[in-house]
Amino acid sequence: MTRKPILCIDFDGVIHAYSKGWQDGAIYDKPVPGFFDWAAEAKDHFKLVIYSSRSKSPDGIDAMRDWLIEHLIEWDPASAASDNPILCPTDFEFAHEKPPAFLTIDDRAIQFRGDWNSHEYLSDALLQFKPWNVA
């Protein structure tokens, strides 16, 4: 069996909509629209690993896992009773530390393109950064 490349996926702002920012660790929002449909296809090509600042504690990982299961069942209620669900909790792994990923999907990142002199890495440009869910 061929090993799938690791796709590291941030939780807040990528999977969990995170519309109000950090709220004492509460996971309060719905999933970002389209996430489960995307994951159902991506799992065939990648090992899906969720890594977050919440990952530093077992309680944080448990909270993300519980939230994911709850919303996965809402997305596909039949999957709970199916022997062959479209997507299931075991299609996701939760890392305690950043995994050696092929690629990372994060709402608060920019891609390094090999030139520290590029305008996009200047402090003024970095200070202007806003994730997709902040106006």
φ, ψ at 112 (rounded to 5°): -80, 130
Rounded mean pLDDT, 67-73? 94
**Pick from 80, 21, 82, 79: which is nearest to 53 by CA?**
21
Q: Indicate the Cα dihedral angle 128, 31, 56, 105, nearest 10°.
A: -50
**Strands of the sheet with 92-94, listed across from one edge:** 92-94, 47-50, 6-9, 103-105
The per-residue pLDDT of the chain, averaged, comes to 93
The DSSP bridge partners found for residue 47 are 6
Per 3-state DSSP, the chain is made up of helix, strand and coil in percentages (nearest 5) of 35, 15, 55
Full-model pTM? 0.90
pLDDT at 2 over 80: no
Handedness of CA 26, 33, 80, 1 (dihedral sign): negative
The DSSP bridge partners found for residue 103 are 7
pLDDT at 82 over 80: no
Write out pLDDT tens, residues 90-102.
899 999 999 999 9
Give first-to-last CA distance, the chain, whole Å: 45
Angle of the 58-75 helix axis to the 35-42 helix axis, nearest 10: 100
Cα–Cα distance measured from residue 135 to residue 127, given in angstroms and rounded to the nearest whole number: 15
